[in-house]
Amino acid sequence: MAHGNIVSTDAEEKDSTVPEEKSSDHQLIEATKNGDEDAFAEIVARYRNPLTNYLFRFLNDYEEAVDLAQETFVRVYFAIDRYHTQYAFSTYVYRIATNLAISELRRRKRRRLMSLTGLFQADEDSEVEYQLADKAALQDTQIVDNERDRTIARAIAALPEKYRVPIILRDIEGKSYDEVAEIMGLGLGTTKSRISRGRGLLREKLEHYF
Amino acid sequence: MSNDNQIKDLEAVTDDERRVAEMLGSLKRVEAPSDFDVRVRARIAQGRPASSNGKWLPQWARYAVPLALAIAVGGYFAIDRYSRTADSKPAEIVRNETVQTASPPVTAANTAAQPVADNNAANPVIAANRETASAPKPAVPRPNSDTDTSGGGSFVEAVRPGKRLLPKGIDPNAPQPGRPRDFDADAKIPVAEVLTVIGVKANFKGSNWTVESVVDHSAAGDAGIKPGDVIETINDQKLSEKTAFNGKFIGRSIRVMRGGKPVLIDLVKK
């Protein structure tokens, strides 16, 4: 595969491992397309923790992060026939998760607006959703065990979406600039600029920790 | 996802950025719950995920709300257009009436203004304007530019009876309510009060009212009524002890006997 050729360059150690992983992902995807449920379970096992952590940092809400991570895999499963192996699977799956997280944030804003105006009565489904919304502090206290981490988490969650996504992908998930640019569908220069700007904003918010 | 690669990237950034990146990298990672796989399989077993758009609305409302909005907007414009059409009809009638009532004096004035208009006949623009303005209403006068000092503006627009702009619900042809009756229309004003009002203090002696005194600068005092005058009539009405005037009293004249001679005194200032 093309990926194998790219890896053969000895520029960085990373290049020798990632394509192998990608290739493995693709094999698992092909197996899933052929009805191998264990292959899909392996994909889930491989990405569940990174995705959950990514979505948790994005939404600052553990329950919602887990829910959206599961939703991401459900969408991958039902759209698996449309997946093209020329793209890295990790890019594909992170892009789905990002879109879901952005939609969730917009839904939260809408709910907050509705709850302020009181225009609509909540039905049974939305009652459940209301309970889930905006209660991040409970999970924070269970998972993040000190005040500093909580403050950082809040600062990340307060960033505008266009800075939050690349910052998390780059500095927390450890993605390369190229991968971040590909996930966001942006140019490399724009991506680097946003990451730099996002770090600057965080630097201002977390000034007393430096 | 290599740390070495990340470190290389960080070398190109400032110290501040590097410290922020290191701080973020040091955050504890969260992991998926143990039943994550089971829940994913359960959701897959339930079927395809529903579209998240409009999830907060019931199924019927996703179609009913936009449809209701479209009907409301369309209805608003339709009613608005209808009401504008309905309002314009009575306004047209009013304009015609105005033109007709204005015609007689206009015709007379037009005779005087005609020479001025004829002087402009050589100018095709003015002539065309005059024809346009006078075609439906032939008797529109033109001002004399030598004597008219009212200022600028289009003469045609100024003399054309405009469409009356009325608030909705106001019908200019609606019958007008009658004037309310004056509260004192049936009141009776005794002659003693009338005399007091005009500034006369008088006593009824025998069969006449005799002036005892007159208040200075009052209507009677200014008119020349003097003490000793015997009042015979007010506004040509003979007086008795219980004479009363109907409704509003407006003093016009008083006839008195002074030195055995009748004197007619006009109360209206000239």
Looking at the structure, tell me whether residues A26 and A71 fall in a common domain: yes
User: Looking at the domain assignment, is residue A1 inside a domain?
Assistant: no
pLDDT attached to residue B268:
75
Q: Do A110 and A168 belong together in one domain?
A: no
Tell me which residue range forms the domain holding B225. 188-266
The reply to whether B126 and B202 lie within a common domain is no
Instruction: Answer with the one of A88, A122, A143 that is the final residue of a domain.
Output: A143
> What DSSP line would sit under A183-197, residue for residue?
HHT--HHHHHHHHHH
Does A138 lie in the same domain as A35? yes
Q: How many domains does chain A have?
A: 2
For A87, what's the count of Cα atoms within 13 Å in the CB-facing half-sphere?
15
The answer to whether residues A95 and A174 belong to one domain is: no
- Residue from A30, A18, A25 nearest A46 by CA: A25
- Does A62 share its domain with A165? no
Same domain flag for B200 and B118: no
CB–CB contact A175 B16 (8 Å): no
Nearest-Cα residue of chain B relative to residue A125: B56
What pLDDT, on a 0 to 100 scale, did the predictor assign at position B223?
A: 87
Do B112 and B198 reside in the same domain of the chain?
no
Mean pLDDT of A104-123: 67
**CATH number of the domain encompassing residue B217:** 2.30.42.10
| Chain A contact for B33 (CB, 8 A cutoff) | yes
Neighbours of B93 (CB within 10 A): 11
pLDDT at A124: 43
Confidence of residue A9 (pLDDT cuts 50, 70, 90): very low
- Cβ distance A78 to B25 less than 8 Å, yes or no, reads no
Distance between CA A63 and CA A71 in Å, rounded? Answer: 12
For residue A3, pLDDT over 70 is answered with no
pLDDT in tens, B166-184: 788 777 788 777 766 666 6
pLDDT: which is higher, A153 or B110? A153
ipTM for the complex shown: 0.70
Please identify which residue in the block is written with the tokens 């025998």: B206
Residue B69 and residue B110 in one domain: yes
Q: Is B31 on the interface with A (CB under 8 A)?
A: yes
Residue B28 and residue A170: Cβ atoms within 8 Å?
no
Who wins on pLDDT, B137 or B98?
B137
Question: What average pLDDT does the structure give for chain B?
Answer: 72
Residue of B140 and A27 predicted with greater confidence: A27
The verdict on A188 and A206 lying in the same domain is yes
pLDDT of residue A11: 38
Contacts of A128 (CB under 8 A, 6+ apart): none
Q: How far apart are CA A200 and CA B95, in angstroms?
A: 72
B180 belongs to a structural domain: no
Among B4, B20, B29, B36, the residue to mutate for chain A (most A Cβ within 10 A): B20
Percent of chain B with pLDDT over 70: 58
Can you tell me the distance from the alpha carbon of A87 to that of A76, in angstroms, rounded to the nearest whole number? Answer: 14
> Are B78 and B153 contained in the same domain?
yes
B236: pLDDT strictly greater than 80: yes
Q: Is residue B108 part of a domain?
A: yes
CATH number at residue A157: 1.10.10.10
pLDDT in tens, B33-89: 999 999 999 999 887 665 555 556 666 777 788 899 999 999 999 998 888 777 665
Q: Where are the alpha helices (DSSP H) in chain B?
A: 3-11, 15-25, 36-46, 59-119, 124-134, 155-159, 191-198, 219-223
E strands present in chain A: none
In a domain, A189, yes or no: yes
Do A162 and A58 share a structural domain? Answer: no
pLDDT at A83 over 80: yes
Total number of domains in chain B: 2
Does the beta-carbon distance from B36 to A48 stay under 8 Å?
yes
Mean confidence (pLDDT) of chain A:
78
- What are the pLDDT digits (tens) for A156-191? 989 998 999 999 999 999 999 999 999 999 999 999
Q: Which of B129, B164, B199 is the last residue of a domain?
A: B164
The lowest-confidence range among A123-132, A140-149, A184-193 is: A123-132
The domain containing residue A18 runs over which residues?
Answer: 8-143
Same-domain check for residues B154 and B201? no
Q: What is the dihedral of CA A77, A83, A88, A90, to 10 degrees?
A: -20
Residue B208 φ then ψ, to 5°: -135, 160
Name which residue leads in pLDDT, A205 or B182: A205
Residue A136 is predicted with a pLDDT of: 52
